[in-house]
Structure 1
Amino acid sequence: MKKCGCFEKNQWYELEKIVGSEYVITDQSEKDVQSIDVWWMTRYCFFQQENFPQPSVIVFPENTDQVRKIVQFCLIHKIHYLARGGGAGDGGGSIPLKGGLVIDLKRMDKIIELNERSLTVRVQAGILQKHLEEFLNRKGYTMNHFPASFNTSALGGFISTNGTGVLSSKYGKISDMVHQLEVVLPNGNLFKSLPVRLHSTGPDYSRLFFGAEGTFGIITEALCKIHYLPEKRSFRAFLLSNLQKGIEAGRQIMVKGLNPCLLRLYDEYDTRHILQKQYGLEKEGCVLIIGFDGMKKIVEAQEEVAYSILEQNEGEDLGEKLAVNWWDNRYRSYYPPLDYICEPWMTAVMDTVAPYEKIETIYWEMKKGVEEGFKSWNAIFHAHFSHWYDWGTSFYPTFLLKDFPSNPHEAIRLYNQILDICVQASIQNGGVVNEHHGIGMRFNRFMKDVSEENYQFSQIIKKALDPESLLNPGKLGLGE
């Protein structure tokens, strides 16, 4: 694509005819915003005033038909494009790597239908999760999807990364919460999956778009499962002497089918960093916060058995106060002024998931790789285990360097060296590249390492759907 010629006045007019002149934006400030996310790399390069890919134009459609026309426009003029929701990803998944056009879906925030018999809600994909949840709460319902970027991310973004919220141990990932998808394909055609997810009427093709990060199509609408607001939701904290005891206690709770809505285990450093500094805990060890919700009698029965398991694993009951305080303020650590991105530090999250027999090895290999391998930089590693299943769990590791090279090329090399150590520790010990933040640009180079078969299959799908690689190129390691 040419840098200037693609958007001559007649082509601007074509876009304006689709969405209206006020929704075709070329302001430099908007281009800057659309060129960064929460990824350390985008912010670092931006503030270093390094050259970084930017779109030529941002378009704000309000419905699926307008998205289809914009996609057809890009196909005719051979313009690279991508869809963007809240822009709160941390891997460069919504960065316009080859410039071109950004389709910003924030105007597509409508609630189309609330079905109070089957307990579903049909919504446009640009709606912020916070706004969807507030609407449902007013009606007596909840979606129970509460990720850290709850306040800033759109539903379509969560679907595109197959995101996970803090209550996933009971309610699952976003792919467990969506019955039906509407997607604009790269050829401009509309795909709509069958109205139910569990069937034997051919493959469920909607699954192609969960975790595809907007490379196979643009999600415009979703039919989501909802729940009644719980009669009771309780939280309690326990202190374990070490990480191994905490993981084992959590495993026993999950494999025995106790169905906690929340299970969150902090390692020793995270316990100090978060629960001591932010919540006033005065004890050392690993804190596990557990929660149950639903009908009062069922919750109380689940609590009784789960608390007994924790006590059998030498867990010290810290009571409800700390846990309820955490729940009420659960987003605090991820926003200013407490989030690491507010500081001039180097940091990244490398969340992964693995079976129970693998997960602790991955943790210790990552920790060793960071703290010993980069000791000269006083590298810090800490983690919490936050999404549990009856077969395994995930953890959310963070590395932090408060001092790093002033030379941008040396800094970026160091950043990638640390990522290499952490991701390879996961892959080589039975884990995956990422659990819920996505691949984007940050983890591109690992996709072939984790599974050659999956990598080749994704290339086949991409070539079939988007043979010219115009849609969100350079993501998922597809190599366009």
Structure 2
Amino acid sequence: MKKSGCLEKNQWYELEKIVGSEYVITDQSEKDVQSIDVWWMTRYCFFQQNNFPQPSVIVFPENTEQVKKIVQFCLINKIPYLARGGGAGDGGGSIPLYGGLVIDLKRMDKIIELNERSMTVRVQTGILQKHLEEFLNRKGYTMNHFPASFNTSTLGGFISTNGTGVLSSKYGKMSDMVHQLEVVLPNGNLFKSLPVRLHSTGPDYSRLFFGAEGTLGIITEALCKIYYLPEKRSFRAFLLSNLQKGIEAGRQIMVKGLNPCLLRLYDEYDTRHILQKQYGLEKEGCVLIIGFDGMKKIVEAQEEVSYLILEQNEGEDLGEKLAINWWNNRYRSYYPPLDYICEPWMTAVMDTVAPYEKIETIYWEMKKGVEEGFKPWNAIFHAHFSHWYDWGTSFYPTFLLKDFPSNPHKAIRLYNQILDICVQASIQNGGVVNEHHGIGMRFSRFMQDVSEENYNFSQIIKKALDPESLLNPGKLGLGE
């Protein structure tokens, strides 16, 4: 039987038996919401009244057992489906490309168990990260995961893209923060990984689901690592004369194991248009904001050595005020009136990651490709570096066009041409397609380019777990 994105009314009743009639939604307004995320393409098409594909039905389960029954229903009826959290992704990963059914997990927001001995919390994955963090803070703990979409995204979404937050230079990606997963597989069975993450009891199969973007299973529960609220958390800003000096200073701090929780380097454009306009900086160059947290004496020792490294790289100490102001207002840039989403501009963030010896080349090749290749459109390129490792760093290259073709087909073609230039600059110089925002639909066509071997292996796994390709088809370059 061929899969169908349309559901008959009698099939709605079967779903109502599983979750209740009030949680089976077919309203057009809800369908509109479920066909949009933060990706420029979905919003542009929506405002052009040329909507992306929409689901036939949206269901809201409240537990794993209901998710299992819904998946089994979709399998029997050959209906494409996907799971959705906050819908704050920027690549179309949670858009129902083939229609069908959306399983909205936001009712699955329960905190199941707080283990203060082993420092873990078990939760349903539909919980907003903001609500999980607020619960932990009231108990004296934190998860230390503070991404830009902190207020609007769910834990399951972060796991599915293997996301990172602004403190990732110390606390890592989601795959470093989660010990155990519970996943409903495409055959309707339940997978539960072993109760500890680090073991030699066979492969850790839970790793399959980090970064899989809901194409291999629906994550319903997670056991997450937590920390005590820090005794001290400090921030300081330094001004570097150029990007190269900033990257080298950051590299030295990371490879020497000084463990900053925050390391955020802005290029000249971002320094002017973010730190000058929003935070009152009156100097030119590249600003680096550095932060440490933990026990007071350890933090002070880390600060002393790191600040010396920055001074040796000719960094000018700007003090604490700008850095603390940034930390306290770090989410404002992503909401009206400051975010590009408020303007009718063409824009995209194409975060990538590479070893230190490669990262500068990628930056300059992208910048050249955008600013010179699309000069007739007055294309702007800017970036910041914000997730650092002891082997390399990631950065957020962003392009911006304030004027672009009024014809939708020409506009979309131009958008994709710029993406092509940027992604190929990364791939051809030792980087990857994406660091943590995810592939979704936006970058699917590049998956074979970055590694044919990796792509072929992912096809084998997808075929084994989801032979009908019903679960989130068309994402990551997988499925029909």
Query: Secondary structure at 1:470's aligned position in 2?
Result: coil
Instruction: Give the drift of 1:6.
Output: 4.8
Instruction: Give the drift of 1:9.
Output: 3.1
Instruction: Give the drift of 1:367.
Output: 0.2
Please list every run of at least 4 consecutive aligned residues from structure 1 whose deviation after the TM superposition is greater than 6 angstroms: 1-5
Structure 1 CA distance, aligned partners of 2:459 and 2:296?
49
Structure 1 CA distance, aligned partners of 2:238 and 2:221?
41
Structure 2 CA distance, aligned partners of 1:396 and 1:410?
26
Contact 1:6 1:77 in 2 (8 A): no
Instruction: Give the drift of 1:38.
Output: 0.2
Query: Secondary structure at 1:99's aligned position in 2?
Result: coil
Instruction: Give the drift of 1:51.
Output: 4.0
Q: Deviations over 1:36-55 (max 9, x none)?
A: 00000000001001142000
Structure 2 CA distance, aligned partners of 1:345 and 1:252?
38
Instruction: Give the drift of 1:123.
Output: 0.2
Mind listing any 5+ residue stretches in structure 2 that lack a counterpart?
none
Closer, same or farther in 2 for the Cα pair 1:14/1:425, shift >3 Å? Answer: same
Closer, same or farther in 2 for the Cα pair 1:247/1:231, shift >3 Å? Answer: same
Contact 1:127 1:154 in 2 (8 A): yes
Structure 2 CA distance, aligned partners of 1:127 and 1:230?
24
Contact 1:81 1:471 in 2 (8 A): yes
Instruction: Give the drift of 1:4.
Output: 9.3
Q: Deviations over 1:188-211 (max 9, x none)?
A: 000000000000000000000000
Provide TM-score, normalisation by structure 2. 0.99
Instruction: Give the drift of 1:2.
Output: 9.3
Q: Deviations over 1:233-270 (max 9, x none)?
A: 00000000000000000000000000000000000000
Provide TM-score, normalisation by structure 1. 0.99
Q: How many residues align?
A: 480
Instruction: Give the drift of 1:10.
Output: 2.4
Structure 2 CA distance, aligned partners of 1:3 and 1:267?
48
Query: Secondary structure at 1:302's aligned position in 2?
Result: helix
Closer, same or farther in 2 for the Cα pair 1:23/1:125, shift >3 Å? Answer: same
Query: Secondary structure at 1:284's aligned position in 2?
Result: coil
Q: Deviations over 1:103-152 (max 9, x none)?
A: 00000000000000000000000000000000000000000000000000
Instruction: Give the drift of 1:3.
Output: 11
Structure 1 CA distance, aligned partners of 2:413 and 2:321?
44
Query: Secondary structure at 1:384's aligned position in 2?
Result: strand
Instruction: Give the drift of 1:8.
Output: 2.7
Structure 1 CA distance, aligned partners of 2:431 and 2:259?
24
Closer, same or farther in 2 for the Cα pair 1:232/1:371, shift >3 Å? Answer: same
Q: Deviations over 1:423-480 (max 9, x none)?
A: 0000000000000000000001100000001100000000000000000000001141
Closer, same or farther in 2 for the Cα pair 1:119/1:50, shift >3 Å? Answer: same
Aligned to 2:195: 195
- Superposition RMSD in Å: 1.1
Structure 2 CA distance, aligned partners of 1:4 and 1:219?
24
Query: Secondary structure at 1:5's aligned position in 2?
Result: coil
Give identity over the alignment, percent. Answer: 95
Contact 1:377 1:401 in 2 (8 A): yes
Contact 1:110 1:124 in 2 (8 A): yes
Aligned to 1:86: 86
Contact 2:469 2:479 in 1 (8 A): no
Contact 2:58 2:104 in 1 (8 A): yes
Instruction: Give the drift of 1:12.
Output: 1.2
Closer, same or farther in 2 for the Cα pair 1:259/1:297, shift >3 Å? Answer: same
Aligned to 2:442: 442
Q: Deviations over 1:356-400 (max 9, x none)?
A: 000000000000000000000000000000000000000001000
Contact 1:214 1:472 in 2 (8 A): yes
Contact 2:156 2:220 in 1 (8 A): yes
Contact 1:75 1:187 in 2 (8 A): yes
Q: Deviations over 1:172-193 (max 9, x none)?
A: 0011000000000000000000
Instruction: Give the drift of 1:218.
Output: 0.2
Structure 2 CA distance, aligned partners of 1:71 and 1:190?
11
Structure 1 CA distance, aligned partners of 2:458 and 2:96?
20
Structure 1 CA distance, aligned partners of 2:231 and 2:271?
30
Contact 1:193 1:205 in 2 (8 A): yes
Mind listing any 5+ residue stretches in structure 1 that lack a counterpart?
none
Contact 2:423 2:433 in 1 (8 A): yes
Structure 2 CA distance, aligned partners of 1:435 and 1:392?
12
Structure 1 CA distance, aligned partners of 2:24 and 2:177?
33
